[in-house]
Amino acid sequence: MGSSFGNIVFGYDLSMKDQERLGFLAASKGVKIISSGVWTAQREEWDSMFSFAKNMGMEFISAEPNREDWDVVEELAKKYNIKVAVHNHPSENSYWNPEILHGCIEGKGNLLGACADVGHYKRMGLDPTDCLKTLDGKIFSLHFKDIAPTGDEQTLEDVVWGQGILNVKGMMEELERQNFKGYFTIEYEADWENNVPQIRRSVEYFNKITEEIL
């Protein structure tokens, strides 16, 4: 988080003093902390996570709750008025299929929805655009990406948007059809140490496609 914080890491176990320092620093720079995650937790840890999100002024948390913890998560979302955007890691034990998420949150109100990772849908053999259609009205945020055309399906690397096998324009057209007003998180994990150039090119492609669509 910066030299003044030493080696401590952003998360719900920050002391109240450090939470206050961080909130003041962000505000002084005109930065709003929208979200954090992807969080998984033991049942007794969820309250600390929601409290931290509230203290930081977040709109939502990105998480993958255990199936048996939905009663706790739903109750805390209402208590703190914080949305929960459920992520889909490429694992049979996760919310890899949007139908699984539907079954967990159906009828539970408008604070529970999806953080749709379009690359992970493809890695699990699903069509990302169809998955977005299935989640119509429940998408709070996206882990948006394009992925390489060759390699093992489970480990296909991220590439600059428009250079891979995902239908970026088709996904964006579907989001426009849904009147999506949430957040895009650009995920580019192929080069942790120097990915800003690729992110910049992805933003340029996003702007180009947006102009075409709108």
Q: Can you give the pLDDT at residue 159? A: 93
Query: Do the Cβ atoms of 69 and 43 come closer than 8 Å?
Result: yes
Give CA separation, 42 vs 66, 81, 176, 183, in Å: 8, 21, 37, 27
Which residues of the chain, if any, have pLDDT below 70?
151-155
Domain boundaries, the chain: 1-86, 118-214
pLDDT at residue number 3: 83
Q: At what angle do helices 196-213 and 168-177 cross, to 10 degrees?
A: 50
Specify the pLDDT at position 154: 55
Predicted local distance difference test score (pLDDT) of residue 2 = 79
CATH number of this structure's domain 118-214, picked from the four choices 3.20.20.150, 2.60.200.20, 3.30.70.360, 3.40.50.300: 3.20.20.150
pLDDT in tens, 65-116: 999 999 999 999 999 999 999 999 998 889 999 999 999 998 888 999 999 9
pLDDT at 193 (0 to 100): 87
Angle at which helix 70-80 crosses helix 46-55, to 10 degrees, equals 20
pTM of the predicted model, to two decimals?
0.91
pLDDT at position 152 = 61
pLDDT value at residue 134:
95
Cis bond before residue 196 (omega within 30° of 0): no
pLDDT of residue 205: 96
- Residue with tokens 């049942």, as numbered in its chain: 43
